[in-house]
């Protein structure tokens, strides 16, 4: 296979991995989910190209790791991923919060260009799971009392 064809194939495979994921993926996640072996440099180049063309945006986690997620309305000239990113500390996933959130207020004299917050906590799945566990514990403790 020539280089150009191989590149097209790599782009296609990486796109489908990102499309099939509900959360942002780091380099290793992508590498693991690609159905065939692909070298790190190729993956890195494709991801970098996607970032340049407005197809994918980067998210830096609190431990400095880079995650990638698909963009929705971005162009080559301008990324507009001004949405918060949510890191679930229970299942260790990073998701894009696409619903609009209240804009940040800034002290007088500051003007925002990019607004992208990073929030850590429990995602919908994990917080409902915790509620179930808590309920179970409460019911169990209640039964023990009688």
Residues of this chain that interact with Zn ion (CB under 5 A) are 57, 69, 71, 74, 79, 81, 88, 90-91, 96, 123, 126
- The Cα–Cα gap between 71 and 96 comes to 10
CB of 77 to Zn ion, least distance (A): 11
Quote the least distance from Cβ 119 to Zn ion, whole Å: 12
Three-state DSSP class for residue 30? helix
Tell me the C-alpha to C-alpha distance, in Å, between residue 104 and each of 6, 97, 108, 115, 120. 44, 15, 12, 8, 17
Please, which residue, 103 or 107, has the CB nearer to Zn ion?
103
Pick the closer one to Zn ion by CB: 9 or 82.
82
* 16 three-state secondary structure: helix
Tokens of 93: 């996933």
Query: Whose Cβ is closer to Zn ion: residue 132's or residue 139's?
Result: 132
Smallest distance, Zn ion to C-beta of residue 14, A: 16
Give 7 or 82: the residue with its C-beta nearer to Zn ion. Answer: 82
């Amino acid at each position: 296979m020539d280089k150009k064809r191989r590149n097209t194939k790599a782009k296609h495979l990486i796109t489908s991995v990102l499309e099939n994921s509900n959360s942002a993926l780091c380099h290793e996640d992508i590498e693991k989910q690609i159905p065939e072996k692909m070298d790190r440099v190729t993956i890195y180049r494709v991801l970098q190209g996607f970032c340049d063309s407005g197809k994918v945006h980067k998210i830096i986690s609190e431990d400095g790791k880079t995650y990638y997620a698909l963009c929705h309305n971005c162009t080559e000239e301008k990324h507009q991923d001004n949405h918060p990113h949510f890191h679930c500390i229970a299942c260790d996933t990073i998701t894009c919060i696409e619903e609009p959130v209240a804009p940040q207020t800034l002290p007088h004299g500051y003007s925002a260009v990019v607004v992208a917050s990073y929030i850590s906590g429990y995602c919908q799945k994990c917080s409902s799971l915790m509620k179930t566990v808590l309920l179970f514990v409460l019911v169990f403790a209640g039964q023990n009392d009688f």
